């Protein structure tokens, strides 16, 4: 569904993407992880036609963004970091405008609006003004809107940012369901547990470059399944081990003590770059 090769993008003297190459297969739920400023949103903006690349190639479901930009845009949906709904319009009116932008016939717009409001659990909120909705409902509405025109590929750029844990997990369930229904998903997130739970494959981006990709379990295993966190010399330190028994034995020999936990994707990223995914 996605194929990009040697993608480059600069903003003045800052190189945002440095020969980025990756591919995402049909039906995948792919997570793109990295710290602020790593190039995640820039990559999504280019893939969805919102920004121009400096060089390289980008294809969406076989449609080249340079030669067939409108076709490529029709094939994908986008949920941005920031809520970009019209608060003065109703839920149904926001969906109707989106359908009109994609030249959907009136009957199909109304049918799809009803279908996807039910899909995201908002069938009883069609007449409500968007400004009266909670943050979680606005996120769900943005997902419904992105799916309205029937894309096979959905970009989710920090879809649960700012949501409380309970609402976040409801959105996770919705994302899983969308993927199981056949939609390919390209996800960026700062929540490590979100990527571990949702994604079948993840990639790390750092300073505009792809530095590693694989399954969450495989990338964690390269570091160690278990971690011991200690506080030494005014700084946190983590040591990694293949088994809980090894981690426990190590901890028992520490005079200051510490904590044993399972390793996660952030540990794998820190091991590669020394930076947290924040």
Tell me the per-residue pLDDT of 239-275, one tens digit each, with 9 for 90 and over: 999 999 999 999 998 888 899 999 999 999 888 877 6
What separation in angstroms does the CA of 108 have from each of 15, 99, 113, 115, 241? 43, 9, 8, 10, 56
CA quadruple 112, 118, 122, 124: dihedral positive or negative? Answer: positive
88-118 pLDDT, tens digit per residue, is 999 999 999 999 999 999 999 999 999 999 9
Q: Is 240 helix (H, G, I), strand (E, B) or coil?
A: strand
pLDDT of res. 146: 94
pLDDT of res. 275: 64
Encode 14-40: b = buried (16+ Cβ within 10 Å), e = exposed: ebbbbebebebeeebbbbbbbbeebbb
Number of other residues whose CB lies within 10 A of the CB of residue 56: 16
Strand order in the sheet with 235-241: 235-241, 226-232, 259-262
* % of the chain beyond a pLDDT of 70: 98
What separation in angstroms does the CA of 127 have from each of 118, 139, 198, 203? 14, 17, 32, 40
Residues 6+ apart with CB under 8 A from 223: 240, 263, 267, 268, 271
The CA distance from 191 to 70, in Å, is 32
What tokens were used for 115? 């279908």
- Rounded average pLDDT over 111-128: 94
40-94 pLDDT, tens digit per residue, is 989 999 999 999 999 999 999 889 999 999 999 899 999 998 899 999 999 999 9
Domains by residue range for the chain, with CATH: 2-213 (3.40.50.300), 219-273 (no CATH)
The CA distance from 115 to 181, in Å, is 14
The CA distance from 184 to 105, in Å, is 25
Instruction: Look at strands 184-188 and 29-33 and give their pairing.
Output: parallel
pLDDT of res. 161: 84
Confidence check: pLDDT of 233 > 80: no
- Rounded average pLDDT over 183-211: 92
- Rounded average pLDDT over 143-158: 94
């Amino acid at each position: 569904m996605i194929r990009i090769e040697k993608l480059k993008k600069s903003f003045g003297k800052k190189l945002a993407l440095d020969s980025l190459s990756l591919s995402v297969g049909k039906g995948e739920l792919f997570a793109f992880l990295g710290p602020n400023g790593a190039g995640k949103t820039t990559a999504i903006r280019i893939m969805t036609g919102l920004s121009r690349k400096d060089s390289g190639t980008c294809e969406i479901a076989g449609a080249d963004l340079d030669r067939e930009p409108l076709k490529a845009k029709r094939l994908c949906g986008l949920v941005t970091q920031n809520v970009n709904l019209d608060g003065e319009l109703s839920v149904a009116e926001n969906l109707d405008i989106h359908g009109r932008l994609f030249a959907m016939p009136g009957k199909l717009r109304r049918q799809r609006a009803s279908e996807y409001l039910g899909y995201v659990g908002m069938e009883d909120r069609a007449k409500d003004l968007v400004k009266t909705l909670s943050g979680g409902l606005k996120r769900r509405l943005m997902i419904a809107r992105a799916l309205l025109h029937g894309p096979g590929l959905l970009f989710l750029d920090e879809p649960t940012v700012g949501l409380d844990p309970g609402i976040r997990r409801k959105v996770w369930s919705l994302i899983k369901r969308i993927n199981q229904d056949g939609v390919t998903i390209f996800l960026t997130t700062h929540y490590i547990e979100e990527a571990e739970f949702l994604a079948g494959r993840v990639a790390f981006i750092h300073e505009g470059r792809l530095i590693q990709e694989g399954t969450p379990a495989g990338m964690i295993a390269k570091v160690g399944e278990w971690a011991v966190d200690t506080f030494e010399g005014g700084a946190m330190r983590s040591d990694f081990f293949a088994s809980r028994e090894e981690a426990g034995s190590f901890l028992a020999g520490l005079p200051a003590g510490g904590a044993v936990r399972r390793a996660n994707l952030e540990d794998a990223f820190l091991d590669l770059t020394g930076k947290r995914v924040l």
